[in-house]
């Protein structure tokens, strides 16, 4: 079973209340091979919500509100489900402060990317789950 970012599966759960649909991900869900999840919603954040980026070791909104707790809670919930279904792979939204793999925004809200992983992507990798983005499938 594959865990996928719900926004890639066509669900309107991205920070701005829109989907980030990816046809390949949608097909995996239709075939019963993937489970769509939104770690931000599982962590208790609403949709839509303020834009968020990682800054230092925190996850903050554009106005500086610390939402690290919600991001960590959501990542833990996704990991629990991934373990329940014996997930070995995840396809997550690129550049996201939660789901981004290898590249994330730098925390300045200026569209500058840096090397790094989102909160969920990092946790999944630490637990032996392969993480890809929609750009890599």
pLDDT digits (tens, 9 = 90+) for 1-31: 999 999 999 999 999 999 999 999 999 999 9
Quote the pLDDT of residue 115. 97
In this structure, what token pair is assigned to residue 118?
């989102």
Task: Tell me the CB-side half-sphere exposure of residue 61, using CA atoms within 13 A.
Answer: 14
Q: What is the pLDDT of residues 94-108, one digit of tens each?
A: 999 999 999 999 999
Quote the pLDDT of residue 50. 96
Task: Name the packing angle between helices 119-126 and 68-84 (round to 10°).
Answer: 40
Quote the pLDDT of residue 99. 98
Q: What is the pLDDT of residues 39-94, one digit of tens each?
A: 999 999 999 999 999 998 999 999 999 999 999 999 999 999 999 999 999 999 99
Structure confidence at residue 34 as a pLDDT band (50, 70, 90) = very high
Quote the pLDDT of residue 106. 96
> CB of 70 within 8 A of CB of 64?
no
E strands along the chain, which residues? 2-5, 34-37, 52-55, 58-61, 89-92, 103-105, 113-115, 130-133
C-alpha 21/C-alpha 6 separation (Å) is 9
Quote the pLDDT of residue 31. 98
Structure confidence at residue 127 as a pLDDT band (50, 70, 90) = very high
Quote the pLDDT of residue 71. 98
- Could you tell me how far CA 100 lies from the centroid of its own chain? 6
Quote the pLDDT of residue 16. 97
């Amino acid at each position: 079973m594959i865990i996928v970012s719900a926004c890639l599966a066509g669900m309107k759960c991205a920070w701005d209340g829109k989907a980030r649909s990816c046809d390949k991900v949608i097909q995996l869900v239709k075939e019963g091979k993937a489970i769509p999840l939104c770690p931000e919603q599982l962590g208790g954040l609403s949709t839509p919500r303020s834009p968020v980026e990682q800054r230092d070791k925190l996850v903050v909104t554009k106005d500086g509100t610390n939402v690290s707790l919600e991001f960590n809670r959501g990542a833990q919930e996704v990991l629990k489900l991934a373990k329940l279904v014996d997930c070995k792979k995840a396809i997550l939204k690129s550049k996201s402060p939660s789901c981004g793999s290898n590249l994330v925004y730098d925390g300045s809200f200026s569209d500058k990317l840096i090397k790094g992983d989102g909160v969920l992507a990092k946790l999944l990798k630490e637990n032996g789950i392969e993480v890809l983005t929609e750009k890599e499938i």
